Amino acid sequence: MKSTPVNFSTLVILTAALASCATSAPPLPATDVPMVWQSPLATDAPVWPAADWWNSFADPELTSLISAVQANNLDLANNQRNLEAAQLALREAGFNLLPTPVVTIGTGASYTDADSTTSSTGITRDPNANTPYTLGASFSYNDILSKPANYTRADADYDARVAQVADVALNTLGTASSTYFQLLLTRDKIEASTQNVANAEAIGRIAQARVDAGVAVPIEALQQRIAIDRERNNLRGLIQNDLATRSSLALLSGRSVQDYNLNGQTLQNLMVPKVQPGLPSELLQRRPDLVQAEAALRSANANITVVRTDLFPQIALTGGINTASTSLSEIVTSPDTVFTISTSLVQTLLDNGQRFRNIEQARLSMENSLATYRKTVLGAFNEIEVLLSNIQLLEAQGRVAFDNLGAAEESFRIAQVRYQEGVANYETVLLSQNTLFSTRNAWLDNKLLQLNAIIGLYQALGGGWQAPEQSPEFPFP
């Protein structure tokens, strides 16, 4: 190791030159980002979801549920603490751009004694005690060339954490909304199943009356009794599903299911909102997982610059000032002062190619990050195209399901009356009954699918989130 005087301005120039070697993240190929969306878009819908997208369903209880999840969800609380830790880490990286100062103060005592009364040499005792005080200040500035790139990497890691926090929050709120809609569907099906049981029991009474009157064979009453038991079991299963779904919502809200309930009873009053995405290129800053993947790419790119600094001399700058006095009052007024400052350049000459291998590994890691980023981007655009098309399909199917439900209800009413009058046979009633049951469930299932598709689109569009333009301010330039 050899210490060499170096002009400080030279160090600044070298640092700036090396920092400029850091290339920005490679841009995406033009074919990865479409100019427009292929699927037809709703012209009467807002562009991009609002940050409080759950309010677009116009359900006060859903809004209250989301507020409870935001306030009490344990995963979101952990996420927020992780973000605070990331802020501290970035602040530490910012301070590492500056020299490290150290200030010390100390005192000590020395005592000499030569005693002639116990010695044959004839030396006399001369006790002398003093108490010197020292005050020192020093700084060190090591790895000067790699500091800018290290901070760039830390900044990218922080941006990735911010996006990760937003992504977890978006998924958690989306899960809470979907689970709430599932609870409403279950309660709709409980209501429908209760009606199914009532219908089956009504047909059972008619069948038994016809058997008792001798105008029908006993098999009709037996088959209807089986149908009644089947519908009763379905009702019991739905009640159990209600409990399981409430348990999931209670956990998301940080509560026990034992004292947790929601008043919502039906999906029928919920509106299915509409939304349209903006320009595809804007999605890159609106969807948290894309921002997170892009930040990982920037971090990998900065890492290449960090390992490249190993090819340059390691520059260090140290300095200090030390004062000493036998009096605490004189340590400021008339101290003995010593100034020191030094620089060093250390260059590795031979390492069997280790530095070049490190650079190659960093390059390969960056290429992997680029491939991951492109895959995430392509997957996001493809997901939105599929969701937009699926929403249109579900809307069309929903209109058909609603019309079919009306027809099935009327068909069952007519069959029930004709069977009671002895005009229709039992098979006709049984067929119309089963058709009504399945048609009603199909309509309810379609409503849930439409609601979940909208939630999926909200999530795919970033849920109203947008990447911050810059990192938080820190106490350095």
pLDDT of 295 reads 92
Q: What is the pLDDT of residues 44-70, one digit of tens each?
A: 888 999 999 999 999 999 999 999 999
Q: What is the pLDDT of residues 395-417, one digit of tens each?
A: 999 999 999 999 999 998 998 88
Out of 206-210, 283-287, 403-407, 408-412, which region has the weakest mean confidence (pLDDT)? 206-210
Placement of tokens 């340590």 in the chain: 331
Overall CATH class of domain 18-100+145-312+351-460: mainly alpha
Mean pLDDT value across residues 463-474: 73
pLDDT of 476 reads 43
pLDDT of 118 reads 47
Which tops the pLDDT comparison, 428 or 17?
A: 428
pLDDT band at 433 (very low <50, low <70, confident <90, very high): confident
pLDDT of 331 reads 59
What letter does residue 285 receive in the DSSP assignment?
G
Considering only CA atoms, which of 24, 127, 53 is closest in space to residue 461?
A: 53
Q: What is the pLDDT of residues 33-45, one digit of tens each?
A: 999 998 877 778 8
Give the chain's end-to-end CA distance (angstroms, integer). Answer: 33
pLDDT of 290 reads 95
pLDDT band at 2 (very low <50, low <70, confident <90, very high): very low
pLDDT band at 333 (very low <50, low <70, confident <90, very high): low
Cα-based torsion angle of the residue sequence 260, 262, 263, 265 in order, rounded to the nearest 10 degrees: -130
Contact 342, 3 (CB under 8 A): yes
pLDDT of 269 reads 82
pLDDT band at 315 (very low <50, low <70, confident <90, very high): confident
- 3 state SS of 7: coil
Which tops the pLDDT comparison, 461 or 469?
A: 461
Mean pLDDT value across residues 441-469: 92
Task: Please give the mean pLDDT across all residues of the chain.
Answer: 83
pLDDT over 90 at 322, yes or no? no
Contact 447, 185 (CB under 8 A): yes
pLDDT over 90 at 198, yes or no? no
pLDDT of 471 reads 53
pLDDT of 113 reads 54
Contact 380, 292 (CB under 8 A): no
Which tops the pLDDT comparison, 210 or 113?
A: 210
* List of residues 6+ apart from 233 with CB closer than 8 A: none
Cα-based torsion angle of the residue sequence 420, 423, 427, 431 in order, rounded to the nearest 10 degrees: -80
Angle at 207 between CA 202 and CA 213, to 5 degrees: 130
* List of residues 6+ apart from 79 with CB closer than 8 A: 164, 165, 168, 169
pLDDT band at 335 (very low <50, low <70, confident <90, very high): low
pLDDT of 411 reads 93
Q: Is the dihedral of CA 442, 447, 448, 452 positive or negative?
A: positive
Cα(456)–Cα(181) distance, integer angstroms: 13
pLDDT of 410 reads 94
DSSP string across 111-178 = EE---STT-TT-PPP--EEE--EEEEEEEEE-SGGGHHHHHHHHHHHHHHHHHHHHHHHHHHHHHHHH
pLDDT of 5 reads 41
- 0.85 exceeded by the pTM? no
Q: What is the pLDDT of residues 112-134, one digit of tens each?
A: 555 544 444 444 444 444 556 77
pLDDT over 90 at 142, yes or no? no
pLDDT band at 1 (very low <50, low <70, confident <90, very high): very low
What count of Cα atoms within 13 Å lies in the side-chain half-sphere of residue 157? Answer: 19
Which tops the pLDDT comparison, 29 or 64?
A: 64
Cα(40)–Cα(396) distance, integer angstroms: 14
Which tops the pLDDT comparison, 331 or 397?
A: 397
Cα(41)–Cα(336) distance, integer angstroms: 80
Of all residues in the chain, what percent are helix, strand and coil, respectively (each to 5)? 60, 10, 25
Contact 158, 351 (CB under 8 A): no
Percent of the chain with pLDDT over 90: 40
Contact 325, 331 (CB under 8 A): yes
pLDDT of 51 reads 93
* DSSP H stretches of helix in 334-425: 354-420
Residue type (1 letter), 207: A
pLDDT of 325 reads 66
Q: What six digits make up the tokens of 154?
A: 């830390």
Which tops the pLDDT comparison, 462 or 351?
A: 462
Q: Which of 268-282, 350-364, 380-394 has the highest mean pLDDT?
A: 380-394
Cα(361)–Cα(357) distance, integer angstroms: 6
pLDDT band at 453 (very low <50, low <70, confident <90, very high): very high
pLDDT of 115 reads 52
Considering only CA atoms, which of 457, 455, 454 is closest in space to residue 395?
A: 454
pLDDT of 328 reads 59
pLDDT of 128 reads 45
Q: What six digits make up the tokens of 291?
A: 């921002």
pLDDT over 90 at 378, yes or no? yes
Q: How many residues appear in the chain?
A: 477
> DSSP E strands: which ranges in 216-331?
314-325
pLDDT band at 91 (very low <50, low <70, confident <90, very high): confident
Considering only CA atoms, which of 452, 278, 285 is closest in space to residue 377?
A: 285
**245-248, long-range: CB within 8 Å, 24+ apart, which pairs?**
245/179, 245/182, 245/183, 245/186, 246/183, 248/179
pLDDT of 17 reads 42
pLDDT over 80 at 105, yes or no? no
